[in-house]
Each structure stands twice: as C-alpha cells, then as structure tokens.
Structure 1
C-alpha cells in the first residue's frame, strides 16, 4: 500500500498503476489467498478484470473485491424507459455526414427539470465503436440533482470526468472520491458509481475510450522528472454501506443503450479490496508544475 493522503474527510492512496490494498475493517482481506473457501467475516470474493485473463503481468489489470453480498444478485437487466437518446457509442454509420465548418463547444445550460448525472450526459463527438472495442466518445454533462438510490455502470469503456462547475462526490465500489473543478476523475469500465452534488448544479466534460485504458505518456527528452508524477494520482480507500433498499436501481450503459436492474441492497458493500484496476483522481493544477498540460 502506498502512503495515505487525507483530503478533508476523504483518505486516499497515491500512485499510478500500483497494486493497492485497502480494508474498511481490519482483517477483512484474506491472507495469502485471493478466493479462499471461506472469506473473513463471511464476505464474498469477486474479481473485476480490466484486461483479458492471459494478458502479460506487466499489463494485466484486475482487482479482488470482498463484499457483503454478491453483485450478481439482482433482477435481469431490461432496457431503460425512458432512455437517454443523447448518448452515442457507435460512430461507424456509413450514412452519416460530416461538415467542414469550424465548430466550437460552449458550456451547456443547467436544465430546469430535475436531472441527474446519467440523464445529463450528451454526446458531442466520437469515433469508432464500443462494440468493436475501438474508438472514443466525448460527452458533456449537466446535472442539478444527485443520483438517488441509483448507481451507474459503463460497460462500454472508461470514463474520464472533468467538472467545470460544481463539485462531484463520487462513490465507487472501491471507496469515495471528492472531485472539484480543476480535478480529473477516471472511472474504469465495469465499476459501479454514484454521483452526489454537494454544492448544487454541476456541469463538465466526459471523455470515454473503448477497448483500452487511460495511460501516462512515456518519458522522453525531459527525462525522469518530467511529465505527470505517479504520486499525484489518488486512489480511494475502502468504504462500505451495509444497507437494504426496497428497490435500488443499477443503470448499465452497453452499446450506447441504457439498461436497468433492480436489487434490494447497496452496490457499495465492498468491505476490502486489493489490485491495480481501480478508480482514481488527479488535480489538473499539478500538471502546471510538471511541464505537462492536458
């Protein structure tokens, strides 16, 4: 485990690409085993993978999560009604047209109707296909309400979230992230997360990549001390919620479509975890001091 860093009431581990470990209750992590016959405290062991099983060790991404209840104990997924038709993940339509006119993005207006992070997503541009596992999409988001009794999971790719206005309190299966304007948060493919708005309305940008993961650029002529420093990347520490709900909704994005499944417990019931496939955040301000800009 790397050094712990406290940000108000949030505690983080630092590093990029490290193998981290964290437990909210001492002794919750199995010793010398990933999936013992009986896990400590009767927890269930689950692995989440960011690469194929046979990927070489130097590029293999995975984490083991130890949770109170298995994540698969939910009702079957169904198409979400109403869906969000402003989200796109397929950009290979041969009938689509392009326009050579110069275009400029401007901040989207905060909606008048109650809108959370999911319904506030809107695709600006993209390339490739989520089904083909190649390409990217650029979205904007506007939201004026927190996600209540609801979690989002992107099965298409990684999300890189850049708030432009208003802080985001993001709860993930690995713990909590506090993301302010000037910060960047990365939620890898497959992780469930919830977005709260502590300061009211928020808006910003989301970059999504298919079939790969965000990486640091290689060091070059600047040398060992250039570019982004791995210690500036912050990973959450374990936090769990042992709570029952009459109808907690999981919204999953798959092929640009939204699907929902209902369960009777919080998805954020991971008491301990270890691995190198995790959500994280970094402050853009730090890049100014490393001769690197995003």
Structure 2
C-alpha cells in the first residue's frame, strides 16, 4: 500500500482507522489527523517537534528502533570526525572552527530530518504493522511490530547510546594520543592539546600577547642520548627586518626522541610582538625550524 492508498483507507474505512488508532495508542488523534489530511503521508505528514528536539527518545518511544540505531550511528560518525579532524584539516585546509560547526550541525541536521520526516516514517511503520495483522494471526518479530508506546525504551535509549558511543570515543581518543608524530619542530600553547600527527611543521602559527606560555616540541628519528641538544630562539619585527637572537639554551641528556620544553612567556609584558623562529640543533647540526608570530 502506498501513501495515497493509506490516506484514502484511513478516510473511508472506519475499521482500518480504528485498528491504526489502536496501534498508535497515545496521541492517536494527532497522527490520524496528520495522515488523513496529508497529500502523501508516506512522504511528508507535517512537522513533529518531539521528533526534532529529542529524536532518539521519540524514536524509541514509538518503537522505531532501527531509526534510533541509525541516529546513534550518525553520532558515532560525529565522534569519529571530531577525533580525526586533524587529518581532515591536513588534507582539505578547512579552518579549525569548522570542527565546532560539525559538532553542532550534525545532531541539528539529524533532528531536522526527523522533525520533517518523523510522522511519515511512523506512518509507514504503522501501515506495515496494520497490514501484517490484517493478513496474519501472528505478531511476527515482536521487537519491530509493537504497538503503542514505551516509556521504558525512551529512558533506556540513553544507556544504549552510552554503550555504543563511549567505547568508540575512548578507543579513538587513545588512537589520537598514541599515534606517533612525524619528525619536526612544533610550537603550541601550554595547557592546550599537544600537536597531532597531522599538524603542519611549516605553518606560521599566530598567538596573542598575554595569552600564556609557549612550548616547543621536537620529535626526532632516534633518541637524543648524550648528544648536545640546543634550542635557539630568534625574533624580528617583520619580514623586512633582520633576525636577532633572543635566547640560546643547551641541554645535556634525553633518553627519548621526543623532547618538550618551555620556550617563551607570551604573557610577559617584556615579550616583543612580531615574528619568531625556533631552531633545534643536535651536536650543532640543525634538525628543524618552527616559525610563529605574536600579535597584540
């Protein structure tokens, strides 16, 4: 039965309408009115605020479990993109602000979809159950042929979400933290997340004065050992000026190939604005350079 036939049968067959009402149970008048007046209730049957605002709760409440699973798969995709966003930025040059947009807009778009299509999707389910009961004395698969509503399912949907999303988020977080960085020199703000495997070592980073302390991270191919490790920091007001050495510090021994050190206090009033260059030398051999800028 297509949407138009479903609508016509609701309007002309009182026994069918009563059977559908019993399947819907709570708030049956609302759905029957929507479906009876829609041009094609299987395509669009009016806006549903509950389906928009609390999509997974509404889906579980109406026994639409497959759609609830699809909703949480979308959330899982949102989490996956959030943790792999450095990869996306690296290959597409998207601004970092787009991560926030993604986190906000993906659940919003899902809610928007169910707000527009929720009544139509529910019409298809109710029609399927009604047709099955007309032609069979058996209930079929109980999980997908339940009538009425379920407050228990609406509550348990959050536990199901945690079961699906949390382990995946933990695994992705562990993957992001343990993925090795490529060899290079990285500048980052103290207290912020460390550089990711796809952080560019060639990009000139910009930091605001008085924003905090800056750290330098060096990642090499092999442990430093007893070789002389030296950090040279230079400054110039602009690209037309010449570089002037700000500091030069040497360190004796590191057992790892990864070294993170304090570089500069951007919140110090005596720290000049302008361009900076951090160079890493090992036994006087230049191993990497990172550029950054401090602005007012």
**TM-score for both structures, normalised by structure 2:** 0.20
Question: Greater relative contact order: 1 or 2 (C-alpha under 8 angstroms, separation 6 or more)?
Answer: 1
Kindly name which structure, 1 or 2, has the bigger radius of gyration based on alpha carbons: 2
More helix by share: 2
More strand by share: 1
